[in-house]
Amino acid sequence: MRVRSQPGLTFDDVLLVPRRSPVRSRGDVDTSSLLVEGIRLHIPILSANMDTVTESEMAITMARLGGLGIIHRFMSVERQAAEVARVKRAENLVVENPYTIAPETTVAQARQLMEEWDSGGLLVSDADGHLLGILTTRDVLFEDDGSRPVREVMTPRERLVTAPPGTTLAEARRILHRARVEKLPLVTEDGRIAGLITAKDIVKREQYPHATKDEKGRLRVGAAVGVKQGELERAEALVAADVDLLVLDIAHGHSDHAIEMLKRLRATFGGRVKIVAGNVATAQGVRDLAEAGADAVKVGVGPGSICITRVVTGFGVPQLSAILECARAAREVGVPIIADGGIRTSGDLTKALAAGAQTVMIGGLFAGTRESPGFTVQRNGQRFKLVRGMASLSANMSRHDSADVDPDQIVPEGVEAMVPYRGSVVEIVRQLVGGLRSGMSYAGAYTIAELQENAEFVPITLAGLQESKPHDVHVL
């Protein structure tokens, strides 16, 4: 048995000491950070792989803002792969394989496909891939006869504006403007479909200049996998859907079965996909996962808003100490770390990054947003959304066929809770990043690396914590 000589610290136990700063404007600082080698985020924030936080809608928004979403794994393999595909299709430089339908497809079938594929315009082609026309929502909106073939209502090939493969975005922008149309099919000399450029993609590109994108201009997305049987097949389906990052996610990531699974994933995919592993709370945990092939390591045992791991098991390390210790080891072995859990404010975010994390993962704070899965509920005239730990009783129950799971055998390590509905996650991220930018200017730092270099933490007492919050006033 050992007892550490220093108490563990978390965010509220410390403050950052201000220092002379050359930063004149918050706008001058650069919040970008390395998630894993080859993927840099404009804002160092990930949305958590929890079933009340991240599915495709959250992931699309996070990537557009310059962060990243990790799709949770508590759904079928097919559905999780489809969620990944939805993010990858949300924006493109060029849609390489646009959705196509046959000319005999009925209007009713086309309407259904448009909804299923979330697409307002489908290319109509023959069996050899020759472009025959375009069908848009406007063509079918007021068509009373659902049994008509789409060839009778589509805009035919001869009335379409098209361009050859290799057309640049700037050229496409000009052509779309001149013709006042929204879709530009790319067509080979012999009339076959070679791609599609849409006005929507061009507008989004201009609207979100810092979006997190892959080399094909598609939004990046991560997805979680576990260690149990069948998870390698899950990983294969996700990689086939072009996921950018797998997150091997188990509560105790510093365990033999996590390390074995990590090695298996690495052996299967080589360098084809980035792999994050976790969670750990010690230097040795970081070293072992890095050695087993992790591109980044996720840090945090028990700090999460809905976690009761520390209460139930007695294990955990206060999050700031965990980050400090893991960051030292991570620098030695050359992998970035992701601080996961316990972030409530932009001050916490700044402290986590200053302590050595390259990025942070956020769950509870994003759970009450429009983009998180689930419905809002009304209580006493206020709107709420559900958040639950992935090791909570209800999450455990919904993973099993409830007929053969005995609730008495489950030992939950998470809780179910309600959080106030907070509107769009865009506003929360804006506040977080605004606070981080201010914090960086207090540290005299233009970059996250300088923030880490310049950071000096001062432990504070309970009196110091009280002083740090509004006091002796009635807050409105």
CB of 308 to ligand XMP, least distance (A): 6
CB of 314 to ligand XMP, least distance (A): 13
* Amino acid at the residue 238: L
Site for ligand XMP in 300-319 (CB under 6 A): 300, 302, 304-307, 309
Residue 245 engages ligand XMP in binding (rule: CB under 6 A): no
CB of 449 to ligand XMP, least distance (A): 24
Q: What is the dihedral of CA 259, 263, 264, 267, to 10 degrees?
A: 170
What residues contact residue 447 under an 8 Å CB cut-off, 6+ apart? 29, 30, 32
CB of 48 to ligand XMP, least distance (A): 4
Which residue lies nearer to ligand XMP by CB, 309 or 452? Answer: 309
- Catalytic status, residue 307: yes
Radius of gyration (C-alpha) of the chain in whole angstroms:
25
Per-residue contact flags (x/-) with ligand XMP for residues 175 to 214, judged by CB under 6 A: ----------------------------------------
Question: Look-up: residue for tokens 């504070």?
Answer: 460
Site for ligand XMP in 37-96 (CB under 6 A): 48, 50
Residue 372 engages ligand XMP in binding (rule: CB under 6 A): no
With the C-alpha atoms ordered 358, 364, 368, 372, is the resulting torsion angle positive or negative?
A: positive
d(CA 263, CA 268): 8
> Could you report how far apart the first and last alpha carbons of the chain are, in Å?
50
d(CA 174, CA 177): 5
Which residue lies nearer to ligand XMP by CB, 301 or 448? Answer: 301
Neighbours of 400 (CB within 10 A): 12
d(CA 360, CA 305): 14
With the C-alpha atoms ordered 328, 329, 335, 339, is the resulting torsion angle positive or negative?
A: negative
Work out which of 69, 364, 368, 439 binds ligand XMP, going by CB under 6 A: 364
CB of 316 to ligand XMP, least distance (A): 8
Q: Is the peptide bond before 279 cis (omega within 30 degrees of 0)?
A: yes
Residue 253 engages ligand XMP in binding (rule: CB under 6 A): no
What does the block give as tokens for 254?
A: 């510093």
Work out which of 222, 336, 341, 439 binds ligand XMP, going by CB under 6 A: 341
CB of 118 to ligand XMP, least distance (A): 27
Q: Which is the catalytic residue, given 307, 387, 429, 445?
A: 307
What does the block give as tokens for 342?
A: 């316990």
Which residue lies nearer to ligand XMP by CB, 56 or 309? Answer: 309
Catalytic residue numbers, as ranges: 307
Residues forming the site for ligand XMP (CB under 6 A) = 48, 50, 251, 279, 300, 302, 304-307, 309, 340-343, 361-365, 389-392, 413-414
